[in-house]
Amino acid sequence: MIFVIFCLDKPDMLEKRAETMPAHRAYVDTTDIQQIMSGPLVDDDGETPIGSLYVVEAENRAALEEYQRNDPLVQADIWKSMEVRAFDKRVDNRG
């Protein structure tokens, strides 16, 4: 099942986010959750991270919730909000 995860950072999280990213990347590489696409949401300057967007494939919502609980970014309390929605992919124009 495909899920979209949309997260917005709390104010003043740039340094904490940067410090946590290596652990987050290492964690992502060790899980059964497949990242289809992911990356930072950025401010209108095109560079400053303000959140995260993930499109992932998980067996079910329970598996995804466990994945999220153990994510270093979640444990570091970076996000002020996190929304998770199931996604029914109909178009994928990636080459």
What CATH number did the domain enclosing 79 receive?
Answer: 3.30.70.1060
Please indicate, yes or no, if residue 79 is contained in any of the structural domains.
yes
Average pLDDT over residues 45-51: 96
Percent of all residues in the chain with a pLDDT value above 90, rounded to a whole number: 91
| Confidence at residue 87, expressed as pLDDT on a 0 to 100 scale | 96
Which own/partner contact pairs does 40-44 have at CB distance under 8 Å and 24+ positions apart?
A: 41/6, 41/7, 41/8
| pLDDT tens column, 66-80 | 999 999 999 999 999
What residues are paired with 57 via a beta bridge? 2, 34
Backbone torsions φ then ψ of 29, nearest 5 degrees: -75, -10
Number of domains the chain contains: 1
- How many angstroms separate the CA atoms of 92 and 22, rounded? 29
Q: Is residue 92 part of a domain?
A: no
Mean pLDDT of 25-37: 93
Q: What are phi and psi of 61, to 5 degrees?
A: -65, -35
